[in-house]
Amino acid sequence: MARQAAQARAKVGRPAAKVPRRASQKDEARARMRDPDRTVEDIITIATEEFARKGLAGARVDEIAERMRTSKRTIYYYFGGKEALYLAVLEAAYRRARKIDSPDALDHLGPSAALAELVRRTFDFQAANEDYVRLVMNENVQRAAFLKQITDMRGLNAPAIEALRSIYERGVKTGEFRRGLDPIDIHQTISSLAFFNVSNRYTFAHLFDRDMTSPAAHARRRASVVETVLRYVEA
């Protein structure tokens, strides 16, 4: 009994364990002011999801701000307005997509292997980035009205064609690829096959009762797209 009483007295006198305090909106705002680059990146990430789901007309800056636990004023400070934010989101999405065309990991491969790898990269990127596909779909509804406002967007996408042109020309020289094909047309074929797999995944799955998102379905369809493109260009 004496021991229990002593333990009880010690427990009463012991300070309560501190519960970690959740960061307030003001705390987060101060942290963002210290790291503006991270703030811009975070805003674009959230805004990408909102614009992809709801389009330019449906997305709301106040909802983006709420998800960011910040104010609309902060978003306007960095981007100026809703349309400017949309332009930033659109450009960032295309910049991410263009990273798959980097020739660094392709130059050491033979033409057929390099083309197959490029197709796989494109297919995997679009399958893993549904928001990118939705943004492109939304921008086509707008007839590329906002894409046309982004400075040097054609220049940003030019390396994709040059990388493909290099692979194709190497393949023609080795006799693996037939002559007379247009690299832009090949790029369009690759993009179309990868894009459809995402843009129509829900309607196609419903109409034909086929799972479009499982790892097995992804691997099977990717292999089919790679074979389709290679058969198209082979000599």
Domain boundaries, given as residue ranges, for the chain: 25-80, 95-233
Which contacts (CB < 8 Å, 24+ apart) does range 66-72 have?
A: 68/42, 68/43, 69/25, 69/28, 70/25, 70/28, 70/29, 70/32, 71/29
Whether residue 31 has pLDDT greater than 80: no
Instruction: CATH number for 95-233: choose from 1.20.140.10, 3.40.250.10, 1.10.357.10, 3.40.50.2020.
Output: 1.10.357.10
Q: Give the whole-number percent of the chain exceeding pLDDT 70.
A: 84
**With contact defined as beta carbons under 8 Å apart, do 234 and 176 qualify?**
yes
Question: What's the pLDDT at 34?
Answer: 64
Model confidence pLDDT, tens digit, residues 183-206: 999 999 999 999 999 999 999 999
Whether residue 20 has pLDDT greater than 80: no
Model confidence pLDDT, tens digit, residues 79-120: 999 999 999 999 999 999 988 877 667 888 999 999 999 999
Of 171, 159, 151, whose CA–CA distance to 104 is shortest? Answer: 159
Instruction: State the burial class of residue 2 (Cβ atoms within 10 Å of its Cβ: 0-12, 13-18, 19+).
Output: exposed
Whether residue 134 has pLDDT greater than 90: yes
Residue 11: band (very low, low, confident or very high) from pLDDT cuts 50, 70, 90: very low
Question: What's the pLDDT at 99?
Answer: 86
Domain 25-80 CATH assignment equals 3.20.20.370:
no
Q: Which residue has the tokens 């086509």?
A: 140
Q: How many CB atoms within 10 Å of residue 218?
A: 17
